[in-house]
Chain A
Amino acid sequence: MPLTMFEKIWRSHRVAEEDGLALLYIDRHFLQDGPRRKFEVLEEAGVGVRRPDLTFATVDHYVATDGTPPEALPEGRRRGIADIGRDAARHGIALYGQDDPRQGIVHVVGPERGISLPGTTIVCNDSHTPTHGGVGALAFGIGSTECGHVLATQTLWMKKPRTMRVCVTGRLPEGVGAKDMALAVVGRLGAAGAAGHVVEFAGSAVAALSVEGRLTLCNLSTECGARSAMVAPDETTFAYLAGRPHTPAGLAWERAVGRWRMLPSDPGAAFDREVAIDAAEIAPTVSWGISPDQVLPISGRVPDPDMAPDEGRRTAWRRALDYMDLKPGTPLDGIPVDRVFIGSCTNGRIEDLRAAARLVAGRRAAVPAWVVPGSAAVRSEAEAEGLDRVFRDAGFEWRQPGCSMCVAQNGDLVTPGERCASTTNRNFIGRQGPGSRTHLVSPATAAAAAVTGRLTDHRRLARG
């Protein structure tokens, strides 16, 4: 019987089954400077970490992006960073601390170090863990108590998800990228549209994406409720992974690539749901509301709640427009913004910074604009290419890596009432700080917003 890629990975990691739940073996476990509940679970059970060699820790949520050392942070954040340092040391887990050249946002670091590999199962106490599916891994976001279970047993009980294939065929128009595709998919499926499913992104437009773009695409699958998301590994994936610090080398590499070539879904494999999207119809996409599925092309207008297709959406749209302080019918292209943020596990990779820098070169920021690289490695690479100079010369702030203003847990806040064009993943009420108003955009759109002070169709700037 032809199998999906998901089915192949699921079957090869099933340790046991009970009452319709599978006990799944976990190949990689990423830890962050989050709640230490996971280690309290171990302490309560009186056991240690089963596989510290498969466990990797980095600091991202609490770290300052202005170079402030952890010791100088307020108590809660200082403790968060100190806790993971102590717990990692005690259990023999590799730690990428603040000054470590390997440090960065966990979902940037995993693929970049070659820790996340095709066909592996990955978990992390973070909802954006499906990101790692961009290299063909099966990756799940889980809670801290479940992480404790994984630390103790290297396994996780899971209900088997259903499968969905989202085929994006054709070619993306010039100036339209992976973030636009991802936002368009979330808009099409809805905030819970992929609930209970593992999504496989396929089709010629997905195959044409770089690995960075695929990571962005899988990252946003969380925002339509997907349990996970994946792109089948191919030559692009192998070229990206070759030679990274944790990827196999020599003969082991040849063998690994041989195994990875068997992973893609077999021809004729059945999915529980199929969705087809035409890449040519995707435009630079921006969010206008307070849920990541409230998106439109930049050429669109703020929707009118009175025109909503049902009562539920009428109420939701009213609430969104009220919070976002927007009037129905306002063209999105031209809405003034107070601030721009470029970074996060969604768009903090080198390719994202290059796309933004191309727009920024030779121009000046009209509003406060930050660039927060996704990792120390991305930051170094960007500096080697001179991108930091491009941003600094334009009046942007060039900061240290971390989650920063995406989740606003480290003190990097959008101030109340401010409107921020942001390359992040969530426009929830208060997400970037109490009273913050977020427009989710691509790196190129963010760059255009920074230099014009407005949501802007960046293709106009590129042509001009």
Chain B
Amino acid sequence: MRSFHRLSATAAALPEADIDTDRIIPARFIDRRPQDGLADCLFHDLRFAADGSERPEFALNRPGWRDAGILVTGPNFGCGSSREHAIFALLDWGVRVVIGPSPAEIFANNAFENGLLMVAPERAAVLELLGRLETAPATTVTVDLERQVVEWDNRSVPFAIDPRRRRCLLAGLDTLALTLAMTERITAFEAARGEA
């Protein structure tokens, strides 16, 4: 796994609640292999009209946000399908961090497993940041995993993260390698319980 410590970048705002993974990447692109690139599919039907032209009002089509490294979202971001292509499309576009209150759980797990940092500060703090990006879209936002804070201007807001996840992300540790080292315990568990 790619390690993550700290990122300072411009941040695009997507304040709408309940943005589902079908919107992040429509199902018809799921038969593409992530290694062949998915950036062009990210938010495809929000970014492009039916005739293929760009919708200028969509966040990632705004000139200052085309290379945003951070996405700031409304609640329940990533709900719906468990498709990991949603994570790969975001990473491929260049997003390394998603900030949003109460993100959908499967999405957040998939993000962690693939080195996309998903952080959920308090809702009020996210609303404040969304408001700031509305008036000052060029604001640089810093996400510091070591100190567990999101910072912009003179503001600094904390976020909670599972300690094991934080450790894995900071060190770039692979979850599977850690579990494989516990194989004896799994074998003992299987032996002790018999068959289910």
Cα–Cα, bound, A143→B34 (Å)? 14
- Within the complex, what minimum Cβ distance (angstroms) separates A193 from chain B? 10
Q: Do B50 and A152 touch across chains, with their CB atoms under 8 A apart?
A: no
Residue in B75, B82, B189 with the greatest tally of chain A CB atoms within 10 Å: B82
> With an 8 A cutoff between CB atoms, is A251 at the interface?
no
Chain A residues closer than 8 Å to B189, beta-carbon distance? 15, 25
Chain A 293-337: CB-based contact to B (< 8 A → 1; otherwise 0): 000000000000000000010011001000000000000000000
Judged by a CB distance under 8 angstroms, whether A19 is at the interface is: yes
Chain A residues closer than 8 Å to B179, beta-carbon distance = 23, 149, 152-153, 155, 157
Q: For the complex formed, measure the closest distance between the CB of A441 and the CB atoms of chain B, giving whole angstroms.
A: 19
Residues of B within 8 A of A50 (CB): 186
A298 to chain B, nearest CB (A): 24
In the complex, A333 Cα to B77 Cα: how many Å?
Answer: 32
A416 — which chain B residues lie within 8 A by C-beta? 50
Question: Which among B2-10, B17-25, B90-98, B147-155 touches the partner chain?
Answer: B17-25
- In A244-301, which residues have CB < 8 Å from any B CB? 291
For B109, give its contact among A19, A146, A319, A431 (CB under 8 Å).
A146
A1-45 vs B: 1/0 string, CB under 8 Å?
000000000001001101111010101000000110100010001
Is A380 close to B, CB under 8 A?
A: no
Knowing A76-B31, A192-B18 are in contact, say whether A145-B80 is a contact too (CB < 8 A): no
Known A-B contacts: A37-B34, A143-B109, A431-B22. Give 18 more (CB < 8 A): A15-B182, A16-B182, A25-B186, A35-B83, A35-B85, A45-B177, A127-B82, A143-B87, A143-B110, A143-B113, A144-B84, A144-B110, A157-B164, A157-B175, A191-B18, A433-B28, A434-B26, A434-B50
Which residue on A lies nearest to B110, using beta carbons? Answer: A143
Closest to B31 in A: A76
- Whether B82 lies near A142 (C-beta < 8 A) is yes
Contacts of B27 in A (CB 8 A): 407-409, 431
Q: Mark A396-429, 1 if CB is under 8 A from B, else 0.
A: 0000000000011100000010000000001011
- Shortest B184–chain A CB gap in Å is 11
A126 in contact with B76 (CB, 8 Å): no
Which segment, of B55-63, B65-73, B100-108, B130-138, faces chain A? B100-108
Contact with B along A116-141 (1 / 0, CB 8 A): 01011000011100000000000001
Q: List A contacts of B190 (CB < 8 A).
A: 25, 154
Listed A/B pairs (25) with beta-carbon separation below 8 Å: A12-B193, A15-B185, A16-B182, A20-B164, A37-B34, A45-B180, A76-B31, A76-B32, A127-B80, A141-B106, A143-B84, A143-B106, A144-B110, A148-B176, A152-B180, A153-B179, A153-B182, A153-B186, A155-B186, A192-B18, A225-B76, A312-B17, A409-B30, A409-B31, A430-B45
Interface residues of A (CB under 8 A from B): 12, 15-16, 18-21, 23, 25, 27, 34-35, 37, 41, 45, 47, 50, 61-62, 75-77, 79-80, 117, 119-120, 125-127, 141-146, 148-149, 152-155, 157, 159, 191-192, 195-196, 225, 227, 291, 312, 315-316, 319, 407-409, 416, 426, 428-431, 433-435
Q: List residues of chain A with CB within 8 A of the CB of B84.
A: 35, 37, 143-145
Inter-chain contact A409/B82, CB cutoff 8 Å: no
**In the complex the two chains form, what is the Cα distance from A149 to B110 in whole Å?**
12
Specify the chain B residue showing the minimal Cβ separation from A125: B82
B109-134 near A? 1/0 per residue, CB < 8 Å: 11001100000000000000000000
Residue in A37, A144, A291 whose beta carbon sits within 8 Å of that of B18 in the complex: A291
Given contacts A15-B186, A191-B18, A291-B18, contact A79 B79 (CB under 8 A): no
Question: Is B164's CB under 8 angstroms from A19's CB?
Answer: yes
Query: In the complex, how many residue pairs between chain A and chain B have their CB atoms under 8 Å apart?
Result: 158
| Beta-carbon contacts under 8 Å, B147-171 to A | 162-164, 167
B183 at the interface (CB under 8 A from A): yes
Contact A428 B50 (CB under 8 A): no
Q: B183 and A153: CB pair below 8 A?
A: yes
Q: B176 contacts A426, CB within 8 Å?
A: no
| Inter-chain contacts of B164 with A (CB < 8 A) | 18-21, 157
How far is the CB of B96 from the nearest CB of chain A, in Å? 17
Q: Complex: how many Å from CA A319 to CA B180?
A: 47
In contact, B28 and A409 (Cβ under 8 angstroms): yes
B14 to chain A, nearest CB (A): 13
Within 8 Å CB of A433, what residues of B? 28
A409 to B83, CA, bound (A): 12
Q: Name A191's contact: one of B28, B76, B196 (CB within 8 Å).
A: B76
Give the 5 A-B CB pairs with smallest separation, nearest first: A76-B31, A143-B110, A145-B113, A192-B76, A19-B164
CB <8 Å contact, A225 and B79: yes
Supposing A37-B34, A159-B162, A225-B76 touch, asked if A316 and B176 sit within 8 A by C-beta, the answer is no
Cα A329 to Cα B139 in complex, Å, equals 42
- Chain B positions within 8 Å of A409 at CB level: 27-28, 30-31
